[in-house]
Amino acid sequence: MIDKTNQEKIEKAVRMILEAVGEDPDRPGLVETPARVARSYGEIFSSLNAPAFDNYKLFPVEETTEMVLIKDIPFYSMCEHHLLPFFGTVQVAYVPDHKRVMGLSKIPRLIDYCAKRPNVQERLTVNIAKELNRILDPNGVAVSISARHMCMEMRGVEKTGSQTESSYYTGNFKTDTVLKQEFLQRING
């Protein structure tokens, strides 16, 4: 949430932008735009004003399993260089330790937490892995992101539909090539 002072500051800024690009901020379609953009940035950048991610539950299990893999989690973030969206899917895997697992829905919530701020894709990838390590202290974590960047599609080099892939491994995903291979096969299968 953005407080009243900052909401007004963004509204003023958006009006300046509309004027500067050559629009008429008073035409009917645009009169509410400054207020709407300010509220919208409050959502898109919501994790900037949020406390550390602690909205999760760990559940004890009798025996730890092999890799837990959560595939194709959609995410949306904002490119910190151009303030344009980049979005796609995240693949997350971890090998549990300490006989505990994480509530499943908390993984997309954690991804949202990491995504809802100005970002570059590589930092987002690392941040998700580090947060999982902190929370689960697992035997290993693998995070892979495939994304479309509006700053590469709608302007600049204008490459429609191009995908950027990034990944980050910790623990036994780094040391055990067979495990890493299994992760790669399963996310591409």
Ligand X SMILES: Nc1nc2c([nH]c(=O)n2[C@@H]2O[C@H](COP(=O)(O)OP(=O)(O)OP(=O)(O)O)[C@@H](O)[C@H]2O)c(=O)[nH]1
Q: How far is the CB of 127 from a copy of itself (least distance, A)?
A: 13
Contact 132, 147 (CB under 8 A): no
Among residues 55, 57, 99, 156, the one that binds a copy of itself under rule CB under 8 A: 156
Q: Judged by CB under 6 A, which stretch of 58-66, 138-146, 148-156, 170-178 contacts ligand X?
A: 148-156
Q: Which of 10, 88, 117, 121 binds ligand X (CB under 6 A)?
A: 121
Query: Mask of contacts with ligand X, 35-74, x by CB under 6 A?
Result: -x--------------------------------------
Quick check: 53 binds a copy of itself (CB under 8 A)?
no
Taking residue 173's Cβ as centre, other Cβ atoms within 10 Å add up to 25
CB of 94 to a copy of itself, least distance (A): 23
| Adjacent-strand bridge partners of 92 | 70, 143
Residue 105 interacting with a copy of itself (CB under 8 A): no
Q: Is 159 in the site for ligand X (CB under 6 A)?
A: no
Write down the least CB distance from residue 187 to ligand X, Å: 20
Closest CA to 103 of 134, 61, 145, 63: 61
Q: Cβ contacts of residue 3 below 8 Å, gap of 6+?
A: none
* Angle formed by the axes of helices 121-136 and 106-115, nearest 10°: 140
Query: Which residues 6+ apart lie within 8 Å of 106 measured at CB?
Result: 55, 56, 57
- List 68, 70, 151, 184, residue binding ligand X (CB under 6 A): 151
C-alpha dihedral sign at 119, 121, 123, 124: positive
Given the rule CB under 6 A, which residues bind ligand X? 32, 36, 79, 81-82, 120-122, 149, 151-152, 156
Binding site as annotated, residues = 79, 82, 151
